[in-house]
A and B are shown apart, each in its own frame.
Chain A
Amino acid sequence: MNELANNALANSFAFNNAWLIPALPFFSFLLVGLFIRPYSEKLAGIVATLSVSTSAALSLWLAFDYFSAFPAGAEHPALVSWSFQWLRYNEYLVVNVGTLIDSLSILLMVVVTFVSSLVHLYSIGYMKGEDGYGRYFTYLNLFTFSMLGLVVAPNILQTYIFWELVGVSSFLLIGFYYTKPSAVAASKKAFIVTRFADLFFLVGILLIAVVGYNLMSLFGVPNGLPENVSAFDFAFITNSGVSTMMNNFGILTPALILIFIGAAGKSALFPLHIWLPDAMEGPTPVSALIHAATMVVAGVYLVARLFVTFAASESALLVAAYLGAFTCIFAAIIACTQNDIKRVLAYSTLSQIGYMMFALGVASATETLGYTASLFHLFTHAFFKALLFLGAGAVIHSVHTNNIWNMGGLAKKMPITNITFLIATLAISGVWPFAGFFSKDEIIAAAFGNHHYVIFAIGLLVAGITAFYMFRIYIVTFLGKARSEAVDHAHEAPMTMTIPLMILAALTAVVGFIHFGDYVSVASIITGDATGHAEGGFPIWIPALLSGLTGIGIAWFMYGGEKDRATAVTEKLGVIYRVICAKFYIDEIYQFITHKIIIRFISTPIAWFDKRIVDGGVDLTGWLTRRSGATLSHLQTGQTQTYAAWLINGVIAVVVIIWLYAS
C-alpha cells in the first residue's frame, strides 16, 4: 500500500471521522425521539431527513476520497479509521467498537444512506396526517443508525450487536400500526424468526471466538496481525493462516454454516423466509427501505465480508449456492400468483436475494467473479427495488388498496409514477440499458464461468419468470381499463413523493454502466488480481436478454388483451395453481409447529408440571408435618395412668438402648 495513497487518505476529513456517518442518525434519533417528537411532528420529519442526507453526503465524500486514494483496479485495503475498546472479556477476546473502511463497506454505506434519505424524503409526503408521525421518523433513524453500524463493524461481535438492533428496529417499524392485530402478529413473527436465526449466528460467533482464543493462547498472535488483535476481529478471522488451522481442527465449516444460517434468517432465504411477506404490514416506505435495499441484504454483506474464510472451507459456499438458487426459483414461482402488489414485490425481493446469494456461492477462492457480480446486483437491486416499492406506495396512497385487480388504467392518472415504475420493471427484467441487465447478466456469467451449469440454468429460467410477473403487475395496474371506481379519483402523488421516484429512475438507468469490477472485488488467491469482468468467451448476455423478452411477451400475451386468458390458464393448472397461491402452505406448517407443538406439548406441560409436581412437593411436606403433628398430639390421651406407663416404659427403653449399644 503505497505511502502517497496512505497519507492522502490520512488527512482526508471524511476518512478520519467516518464514525460521523453512523453517529449522525443516532444523535438525531435521540434528539427527535426524546425532544422534538412531542412538540412538533413536522420538524421531526425534517430533522430526521436532514441528518440522514448529511450522512449520505459524507459517505459519498468518503467514497470519493477512498477511491481517489486507491484508484480503480488497484488493491483496496481494509483500514480501521477509528476504534475504542468497548468491552474486554479477557486479553485475547476484546471488542473494539470502531469503523472499518474498505470498498465493501463503502458500497453498503453509500447504498444505505442514499436509499434511506430518499425514503425519508418520500415518507414526509406519504405519512402526512398519520398519527405517530414523529414516532415513525425516530424508528427510521434508529434503523439507519443500526444498519450503518452493522456495515462499518471491524469485528464480528459488533456486527452481531448492530444485527440485533436492526432486528429490533424492523420489529418496531413493521409493528408501527400497532392497533392492527395483523401488524402486531407480523412484527412479532419477524422478530422471533430473525431472533431464531441470530441464535445460530451467536453460537457460530462463540465457536469461532473460543477456538480463536485457544489458538492465540497456545500459538500467540499470528504474524502479520497487530499485537492487540482480538479473536473477534475480521482481520483475525479472515487471516488465511488462522482459517487453515481452524479447518484442520474441523470446526471451520460447522461454524461458518451456523453463521450462514444467521445470515439466511436476516436475508429471508428459503426456510426462514416466512416473515418477509408478512412484513408488508408496515408502511410502504419502510418496506422499500428495509425489505428492499438494506436489511435483507445484511446477510449477503456478512457472507461477502467473510468471503475469504467461506472460500477456505469447501462446503460452506456450496450450501450458500444451492440454498440461494432454490430460494430464487421458489420465490419467483410464488410471485406469479400473488394479487397484493406489495406481496409480489416482497417475493421478487426474495428471488433477487436468492440471486445474490447463489452468485456468492458459485464464486470460489480462485474464481472470484461471483463475488463482484453479487455485490453489483446488490447495488443495482437496491435502487430499482426501492423505486418499485415507492411506486407501489404512490399507487396505494392514491387508490387506498393493495389488490392489483381493483386497480388498472392508472397510467393516465399518474404519469410520473407510471414511467418510473416502467423503468424499474424493465430494469428488473434485465432489459438492456437499465442496471438490472448488467448485474444479472454478470451473475449468470459467473455461474457459467464456474461450471455450475444447474445454477446457470435456474438463473436463466428465473430471469424469464421475473420478467413475466413484473410485467404482469405493471400491465394489470397501469394499462387496461379501470377496474374499480377508486381509480377515477386517483391523482398523481405530491412533489415530495415523485422527486425520489424520478431520482431513483435516473439512477437505475445510469448505474448499470459503472465498471463495478474495478472498484469492488476480492483478489483471487491464485492469480492475485481481481477478475472484474467476464472476459471473452460465449456472450452470456444474449440468452439472458432473450429469456427476459420472452417473459415480457408471455405476460403481454396473457394480460395485455381484453379477453382475460389468464383465468383460463389458471383453471388448466388447477390444483398446482392453488398450492402455489397458498405459498406452498409453509406458513401453516410454521403455525402448526409453533402453536401446536411448542405451546401445547412443551410449555403447558411444563407450567402444569411446575404447578402440580414441584409445587405439590412443597405443599406435601407442609401437609405431612401438620399430619404428623396431629397424630402425635393424640398420644396425649389425658389418662394419668397411660402417662405413668409412658414414664416406666421410657426408663426400660433407655436401659435397653444403652445395653444394645454397649454390647
Chain B
Amino acid sequence: MLEIMKQRAKELLESGRVVRVLGWQRGDFPNLREPVFFTTAKQLDNLEYDRFCAANLSKYLIGTDVPTLAFLKPCDTYSLNQLVKERQINRQMTYIIGIGCEGSAKLTDMEENGTLERCLVCTKTVHAAFDELIGEDAAPREKNDRFAGVGEIEAMEIAARYTFWQDHLARCIRCNACRNICPVCHCKKCVFDNTKYDTAQRANASAFEEQMFHIIRAYHVAGRCTDCGECNRACPQAIPLHLLNRKLISDINHMFGEYQAGTDTETPGPLTNFDIEMDKEVGL
C-alpha cells in the first residue's frame, strides 16, 4: 500500500496536478512519525504510512494556496470537510487520497502501548471526502460504544463527577496542545490569549480556570468537533479530554438529532441551527 501511495504521489507531483504532498515521514525515534510536505519525487521515498502515523493532517491544509496532495485517513477527512465548511481550506487546492486505516498505535514514552482509544471506538470508517482511495479500512473496532465512557461518568454521583474532573484537570499544565492540535481550533487568536476581551488566562492559576478553559475549549468546538481524538492523543498529562467533547456530541445527538460534524461541507452545525419542533422536547 505504501508503495502505491508513493507511486501515486510521484505521478501527481510529476504531472503537475499538485506541487506538494502532505504525508508523514519517519522521525528520529523508532516509533516517531512527523507530518511533512514533500515537494520532490525523491523526497517521497521517505513517505511513511503505518500505525504510528496518528497525526490528523487536515489542519495542515488550512490556508493552502497551492495544489496540495494530502493523504488522509478516514477520520481525518471529516476534519477536512469541517474546515472546508468553515472556509479554512480551499478544497479546490487540495487533492485528497483517502487511505485505509487499521487504527493508530498508542505511544507511552515512545513505546507502543496498544491502540488509540479513538480507533477502538471509531465510527468514521468511511472517507467523507476524497479524490481517490488507496487501501482498505481495517480499523479494529473492539468496543462499539464511543459514549460508554461518558455514560460511566453520567452514572456517577455528582460529587464523584466533580472529584473525577478535579483530579484530572488539576494535572493540566495549559500547554495548549489540546487546543492547537484541534483541527477546528483555528481562531487567529484564542479568547484565552486575548487580553483585549478580559478573557485571557495564560495559565490555570486556580481550579476555576482549569474548569473554565476546558469547558470553553470543548464548548467552542461543540457541533464542530468531529471526534477525531487528537486532543486526547496530544495531552501530555493524559487528561481524558475526549470525554468532554463526547459528552457534547452525545447530548447533541440526543437532543438535536444525530449529527456527525464533517460529514459534508454544507449542513449547518447544531449550534448554528435549530428545529422549532424538536427543540421543544429539550425542555430545560
> Do A and B originate from a single complex?
no
Please give the residue numbers on chain A whose beta carbons come within 8 Å of chain B beta carbons, in ascending order: none
Please give the residue numbers on chain B whose beta carbons come within 8 Å of chain A beta carbons, in ascending order: none
